[in-house]
Amino acid sequence: MRIMEHIQYTEENIRSLDWREHIRMRPGMYIGKTGDGSSPDDGIYVLVKEIIDNCIDEHVMGFGRTIEIRISDHKVTVRDYGRGIPLGKVVDCVAKINTGGKYDSKAFKKSVGINGVGTKAVNALSNFFMVESIRDGKSKVAEFHQGELTKDHKIGKTVERNGTLITFVPDSTVFKNFRYIPDFLDNQLWNYAYLNSGLTINFNGKKYYSKNGLLDLLSRKTESENLRYPIIHLKGDDIEIAVTHCGQYGEQYYSFVNGQYTTQGGTHQSAFREFFVKTVREFYQKDFDAADIRQTIVGAISVRIEEPVFESQTKTKLGSANIAPNGPTLRSWINDFLKKALDDYLHKHQDIADALLARIQQSEKERKEMAGIRKLANQRAKKANLHNKKLRDCRAHLNDKRGNKQLETTLFITEGDSASGSITKSRNVDTQAVFSLRGKPLNSFGLSKKIVYENEEFNLLQHALNIEDGIEGLRYNNVVIATDADVDGMHIRLLLLTFILQFFPELVRSGHLYILETPLFRVRNKKETIYCYDENEKQAAIKKIGKNAEITRFKGLGEISPGEFGNFIGEDIRLLPVLLDESEPIEKTLSYYMGKNTPARQEFIIENLRIEKDLADKKNGNE
């Protein structure tokens, strides 16, 4: 019998943390993942968002039409032209928890930041934080280090316009090796512009401005030739909806509350999905299957409500049941709006009503045709899974419960026995799984979804991921393509990306898909070993170790021993996120890379071959 060690539990074990210590000890409670910036929901983007949210709240209240943002290296500067923080409360507003003007519902009736926490979290998690408030010719400046006041400047005179200026540098001990990825910031800022008509955001010289709100958002996210009918745009008091159907698979939603992008949806998005179906059924007076109505839908909803309740401090999922304290329910409000606005719209636009009906009937036909194929494929998959050596699973899975352990789960998709063998032997069996492909997968561009069921590799992969009916049941939080860094490996990577973007684009949009970066070179001597990911790192390593260094070029993952591989998929793993350029529709991108060999692609290849030749000639001294 195991005897538990006797541990003293006295008054000395009880600690009281001040606000700064608590934020720094438990940053996840305030900003979600710390991360290095490779995911759009990493904490460094939440820090930026928390500051901009305050500027947006000023704009919504009618103060300030412009926000200026500069980000260079790790330094972030945000300037608005609102009313400015009351000068006597500047320090309290950024360094005293549960302090702010948003508890007064008259001043900030429909604000995002209602808890008085956001700016303080940014302050506590920054190596340098400076705030300046400008009001009526006077200025107040305060500087901080990790939440502690370092310089409390006296109120002085200024000729600057009213507003607030905040500069901060995230703490590199909390956000290790972090970097801001421009594409993530670009999407974040466009969303602010779409939701706030009349607002101009200037970011590092680029202007963000929207005249038509969610109509502009969906226009940017879709391609007009790919639409089944023109975008339906509906606006009411504190509610705006845009919706259409495209040619892609699945459902795609963009939902917002008080200007906050709720990436995980919530009660407003659920109500939109439910009552869009209800209104369509009532309009056509037919009990269509909900999946047929929503298949290929692209929708956006924005609501403004009083005192919103979010499921976490990062505000990515709305939990509010009512539009205001003691007010009507959110569900009934959205139901009433759609019932009237959408029904009126369809009655006034018969051509769009006919196109929507045709889209629903096409989905219904495809679903019935797929039923038999899907049943046989699922039977084969179940049989294959009994003897499935393709998937080497992990002990923890990402299901509906999103605990810390599940959020760490990763599936590596690789090709060949040697590569999958190295990863399998060096992985963390608790959280890392491996799916091994057999040779190059099929080029699925332009094929219908039935190929997913008819092709054994694709069918087993979708079953391993559990994404047959959408990504809500995704079993792994991180899906990582791990292929050799040669021509064949790049081709396999492209084929996998084509499959995922063609049939499961939500996997990419939700930030779950990555590329594994592995070293190309090993430079070592008897005392030191350095792994290098490109030619520049190799040259720097040679210079450090000396001319007698032993240099190994890894041609494939299988050449890296399991003992070494553990270094590259552990704490120091390098993951390159797969990002979608929302201004370039998926179908157009896939057509360019995976379609017929168009003149444009031929010209691109020839031009790049010419550049490669010029570089090679210069390297060999043949200028």
Predicted TM-score (pTM) of this structure: 0.72
Residue carrying structure tokens 């905040």: 166
Give 488's contacts (C-beta < 8 A, 6+ positions apart): 440
Alpha-carbon gap, residue 48 to 277, rounded angstroms: 37
Q: Rounded to whole angstroms, how far apart are CA atoms 411 and 506?
A: 17
191-209: pLDDT as tens digits: 999 998 889 999 999 999 9
Handedness of CA 221, 223, 224, 226 (dihedral sign): negative
Q: Enumerate residues 6+ apart whose C-beta is below 8 A from 150.
A: 143, 144
pLDDT recorded at residue 207: 96
pLDDT average, residue stretch 574-603: 70
pLDDT > 70? residue 409: yes
Contact between 25 and 17 under an 8 Å Cβ cutoff? The reply is yes
Higher pLDDT: 564 or 286? It is 286
Q: Give the CATH number of domain 19-208.
A: 3.30.565.10
Least confident of 254-268, 395-409, 571-585: 395-409
Tokens 């599936």 label which residue? 411
User: At 3, is the pLDDT very low, low, confident or very high (cuts 50, 70, 90)?
Assistant: very low
Radius of gyration for the alpha carbons in the chain, expressed in angstroms and rounded: 27
Query: Domain limits of the chain?
Result: 19-208, 214-366, 388-518+559-584, 521-553
Residue 404 has pLDDT above 60, yes or no: no
Instruction: Tell whether domain 214-366 is in CATH 3.40.228.10.
Output: no
Q: Which residues contact 427 (CB under 8 A, 6 or more apart)?
A: 394, 412, 433, 434, 569
Is residue 436 classed as helix, strand or coil in its secondary structure? strand
Once rounded to an integer, what is the mean pLDDT over residues 458-466? 89
The pLDDT tens digits of the residues spanning 153-184 come to: 999 999 999 999 999 999 999 998 898 988 88
CA distance 272 to 261: 15
Take residue 386 and report the two structure tokens written for it. 């009994």
Residue 101 confidence (pLDDT) above 70: no
- What's the whole-number average pLDDT of the chain? 84
Residue 480: its pLDDT value, please?
96
Q: Among 3.40.50.670, 1.10.760.10, 3.90.79.10, 1.20.120.1750, name the CATH number for the domain at 388-518+559-584.
A: 3.40.50.670
